Amino acid sequence: MQEDGAPEPPRGINGVLGGGKTTEEVAAEKSPIVEAASIFGFVFVLAGLTFGAVNPDYVESIAKSQSKCVEGKIVNGYRTQCNPDGTFMRDR
């Protein structure tokens, strides 16, 4: 049985590994700016994934514009042909 005056056991990573903070120490270190940035980052990534899922053709066009043409490579059963500037001669 624990005594009433006993300190609260540490939570998280073991103290030997650099952790071992009590709940009060962890609560004192929380920053509202860090929490707001974390929420903003989560919403931004979720919005990007949702946009990509709803507009796959737009994402595909971005990927195609970033790709380089390789002369003679076979894609979807067709041999690719390139323009002198490195873009695809025709879209399939």
**What does the CA dihedral 60, 61, 62, 68 come to, rounded to 10 degrees?**
100
Cα-atom radius of gyration of the chain, to the nearest Å? Answer: 27
Residues 30-46 as b or e (16 or more Cβ within 10 Å = b) = eeeeeeeeeeeeeeeee
Per-residue pLDDT of the chain (92 residues; tens, 9 = 90+): 555 666 666 566 666 666 666 677 777 777 889 889 999 999 999 999 999 999 999 988 888 777 777 777 777 787 777 878 777 776 54
